[in-house]
Each structure stands twice: as C-alpha cells, then as structure tokens.
Structure 1
C-alpha cells in the first residue's frame, strides 16, 4: 500500500479538528514533511527506493542474457513467488553456480538494477567477490556484524 503525503496531511487535519491547538497540527505537519523530505534524499525502505521491477528484470534477462534461459526462468519464478507473500519469515537466497564468464555477476547486476533504485550502490546491497576463504566466520564478521541484519528486510548479498 502506497501512502501519499497529502492523505497523511488530511488525516492529521481530521484527527485534530476535534479541538486541539494549532501548534499540535503544525508539529504533526512538520513531522510528516520531515519524513517525506528526508526520504527523497536518503534511501528508505519503501517503494520509491525499492521498486521491485519484475517486468523490467524479465525484459533485461530476455534481451541481454543469452544461453541461460533456465536460470532466467527460475529467477523470475522465485522472485514472483517471493513477492506474493505479505510476510516473509526467511529471505530469498539465490546461489548462482557456473564457470568463469558464465554470467553470474551479470545476472546479479540485472537483479540489483531492477530491484533497487540505486542498483548496486544501494545501502541495502552487499557484494563480495571471493574464490576461497568464504566461510561462516567470514560471513559473520563481514556481513552480520556490520549491520546487515537490522537495516532492512530486503537486502541483497552477492557472492561470486
């Protein structure tokens, strides 16, 4: 559900029309404006910053990813299924396997481009490119302990 600032302002006016002071109405409007103006500048957890553009991803994979039809079909199917759920207990995890130059990073970049407004530069994205030394300790030290758990429900963790 997308909420627009105008509807929130209207709710405040209706709520405070009972007889509260002009100061409380002004403070509520100021808080509402503060939230929306900061979310225009700084990345937030809402549809403006995380559009989850499944059709754009589908088009990009069809147009640019060659020879990986099965992978594209599975990725799109998994993302659609994940989006249908209103409450998600567990994150959706992709593990892309293949030879060097097979398109794993290329595919991950398409997912990022269509899922986050800032793509790979989003503060909700972590990318690690490692060949070995990728253990549970590495994940704990470099991912979870740096705030990877608490910021946002839809993070993206890429490993190559």
Structure 2
C-alpha cells in the first residue's frame, strides 16, 4: 500500500495545481512529469525553496512518477478537475473550468506553497519545449549525482 505522500491523490492534486497555473495550455504526461518534479524540487532549479526534502536519489523519482501521475490524472478527471484534450499532436490534459475554484478553496500551508511555486513554474518552464525542459533537468540531475557521490555512505553496525 502506498502512503499519502506521492500517492495518486497527491500527485493528481499537484497536476491540477500545475494545469491551473498554466491554463489554458494543454500539457502531455511527459511534460507534467517534469513540471511536477520541478514543483517539489524547485530549489534545485533556481526557484523557490523546494517543497520536498533534498534526498540524494531524488532524480529516481522521475522514473516512477509517470504511472502515479497517470493514476492521479484519472482521479482528477473523474472529479471534474482535469479535461482530456485530443488533438493532432496527441493526447494532453488541461485544467477543467472549475479547477481554479477548487484550488482556491483549499487551505493549507502545503497547498499555498504548491500554488506559489506552480506560478513560478508557469513563468519559468511551461513554455519551454519538451527538449528544452529535459536539457535543463539533465543539468540538474548531473548536480544531484555529484552531490550524492560527495556524501559518505550510510552504514550501520549490527550487534
């Protein structure tokens, strides 16, 4: 069983917040994965302080996030917060008409930070091409690998 952090509900809510910040733009799953990662690790990208902790192997989150994000998007589509948009470019997602009102009634410091950081992301990344976003991520991932290599391994003695 998954815990509440990075569950489909939480990741789906973050997707709604991202889609609301980037409305009326339609985003594909790959772009949403990168933007969601940017949302919770914004400090690594020169933005606001990261919302999630700076764990050494956080780059690995990207690899597992797609499936969780897809589950979260399905939940949010059922709740009427996200619209599926079909075009000649493929399938994408856009905030539904009532998504902004829904996000506006949520009250917690976590959601407030998500909304503020999503606004930064909308201004900083949302209009980059997917290739440009991946390049920026690659530069950050390289720093994470160096950071991880500079930490001594965690060991414990069993007695």
**Same topology, TM > 0.5:** no
Q: TM-score range by the shorter chain?
A: under 0.3
Q: Over alpha carbons, which structure has the higher Rg?
A: 1
Q: TM-score, normalised by structure 1?
A: 0.23
Q: TM-score, normalised by structure 2?
A: 0.23
